[in-house]
Structure 1
């Protein structure tokens, strides 16, 4: 189900609202980075960024900050949000966001 922010001018739909898997805040989708799970043969799955929002598969949304990334990894939110088994590899996100935790 798509959630939209209802503006005060007649209830028109303006833009999509998504929840960050790290901090759990609901914000406009334009402020968040979409990530998807990509299958890797030996190790399972990797979480890869989807800045153009065009990659196939189930997506999750994340603030592009080291704090939200570390919260999501610590809470194991990517596995639940992307519906993959185990702990997916977040190396690509670490490089993009600039985080040193994993």
Structure 2
């Protein structure tokens, strides 16, 4: 695991940095959500690395209820099913609860 729970303050710094990097809130939100929308802030997400760890969890995570959520983030997993269940289809990228922007 490379990241798990994050404080709202830390998530805000990550989001603000992404806005500066990508040029807009909408573009940044495809990679980092603002604190009010982040599963990391709610304690409901983990980031995994290296690539072998990501592949292992993607293959076996549903047995533990953990699923990869976003197509553009192979490292990001959330509890999206019951242990032993089936993971939902990947979303292309994250979107804040209020929609883009």
- Please report the TM-score for the alignment, with normalisation by the length of structure 2: 0.29
**Structure with the larger strand share:** 1
Instruction: Identify which of structures 1 and 2 has the higher relative contact order when contacts are C-alpha pairs closer than 8 Å and 6+ apart.
Output: 2
- Please report the TM-score for the alignment, with normalisation by the length of structure 1: 0.29
Larger of the two Rg values belongs to structure: 1
